């Protein structure tokens, strides 16, 4: 029988703290949220490994919980505040939404897979995440009805800059994602200031590609 509480502490101390994540509120959120609750029952023992954990059904597009280190560094880089209104894109079973609910005022988890969205709603309700809700809609569209947002976090990689999501930021709002695939991929923070968007890389990262965010195929003569 896995001691999940001990595994959670080891994840925080051995994977997240050692990646220079020092924000106390963020570390406390990772210690508080039971990651195993958001994994399929047959993968609960893998919840705290130093890898992405696949949560989608066999035969469905691969959907994963981000590697803890990547999620931790992304959330620290986006510098959330207790008053922030956050959109969590590609939340899958809702783990990231639960973590964000400990850090921000309001969190909207966006998930286009209805089965994953249902699991997320159930898990968040069981954990009492009253300031978070799950919306089922295409990821690439975002959820403008709930915006604009102080922060948007993408739970996977994109091959193209997510322009439709950037348009849903407040002035001064930030968006965090992993841009690219393979060894050249970078975690990015984009900021909207006066209608202009600027982006900066913050660390090397890898993540599963979110559906709808792949680069269009190049035309070949």
| H or E element that contains 89 | strand 85-89
135 strand-pairing partners: 110
Indicate the CATH number for domain 4-204: 3.40.50.150
Which pLDDT value is given to residue 218? 59
Tens digits of residue pLDDT in 114-148:
999 999 999 999 999 999 999 999 999 999 999 99
pLDDT class for 59, splitting at 50, 70, 90? confident
Q: What is the DSSP letter of 14?
A: I
Q: How many CA atoms lie within 13 A of 206 on its CB side?
A: 7
pLDDT class for 1, splitting at 50, 70, 90? low
Locate tokens 């990651």: which residue? Answer: 35
Tens digits of residue pLDDT in 151-167:
999 999 999 999 999 99
pLDDT(221) > 90? no
Which pLDDT value is given to residue 219? 55
Tens digits of residue pLDDT in 26-44:
999 999 999 999 999 999 9
Strand order in the sheet with 169-179: 132-136, 106-111, 85-89, 149-158, 169-179, 186-193, 196-204
Tens digits of residue pLDDT in 74-114:
999 999 999 999 999 999 999 999 999 999 999 999 999 99
Which pLDDT value is given to residue 150? 98
pLDDT class for 184, splitting at 50, 70, 90? confident
Task: Name residues whose C-beta falls within 8 Å of residue 102's C-beta, 6 or more positions apart in sequence.
Answer: 25, 28, 29, 32, 33
Q: In whole angstroms, give the CA distance from residue 64 to residue 49.
A: 13
Domain-wise residue ranges, the chain: 4-204
Cα–Cα nearest to 134, from 151, 113, 152, 150: 113
92-110 burial, b at 16+ Cβ within 10 Å, e below that, comes to: bbbbbbbbbbbbbebbbbb
User: The pTM is what?
Assistant: 0.94
Please give the average per-residue pLDDT across 11-38, as a whole number: 97
Please give the average per-residue pLDDT across 69-73, as a whole number: 97
Q: Which two tokens stand for residue 140?
A: 């690439």
Is the peptide bond prior to 184 cis by the omega test (within 30 degrees of 0)?
no
Phi, psi of 133 (to 5 degrees): -140, 160
Cβ atoms within 10 Å of 30's Cβ, excluding its own: 22
pLDDT class for 195, splitting at 50, 70, 90? confident
């Amino acid at each position: 029988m896995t001691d999940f509480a001990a595994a959670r502490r080891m994840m925080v101390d051995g994977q997240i703290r050692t990646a220079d994540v020092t924000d106390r509120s963020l570390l406390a959120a990772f210690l508080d949220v039971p990651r195993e609750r958001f994994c399929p029952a047959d993968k609960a023992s893998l919840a705290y490994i130093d890898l992405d954990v696949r949560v989608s059904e066999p035969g469905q597009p691969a959907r994963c919980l981000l590697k803890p280190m990547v999620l931790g560094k992304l959330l620290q880089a986006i510098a959330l505040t207790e008053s922030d209104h956050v959109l969590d894109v590609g939340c899958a079973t809702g783990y990231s939404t639960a973590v964000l609910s400990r850090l921000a005022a309001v969190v909207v988890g966006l998930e286009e897979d209805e089965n994953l969205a249902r699991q997320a709603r159930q898990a968040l309700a069981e954990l009492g995440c009253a300031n978070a809700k799950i919306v089922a809609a295409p990821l690439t569209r975002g959820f403008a009805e709930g915006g604009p947002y102080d922060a948007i976090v993408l739970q996977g990689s994109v091959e193209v800059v997510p322009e439709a999501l950037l348009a849903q930021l407040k002035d001064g709002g930030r968006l965090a994602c992993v841009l690219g695939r393979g060894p050249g991929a970078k975690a990015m923070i984009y900021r909207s200031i006066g209608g202009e968007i600027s982006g900066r890389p913050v660390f090397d990262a890898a993540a599963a590609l979110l559906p709808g965010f792949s680069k269009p195929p190049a035309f070949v003569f």
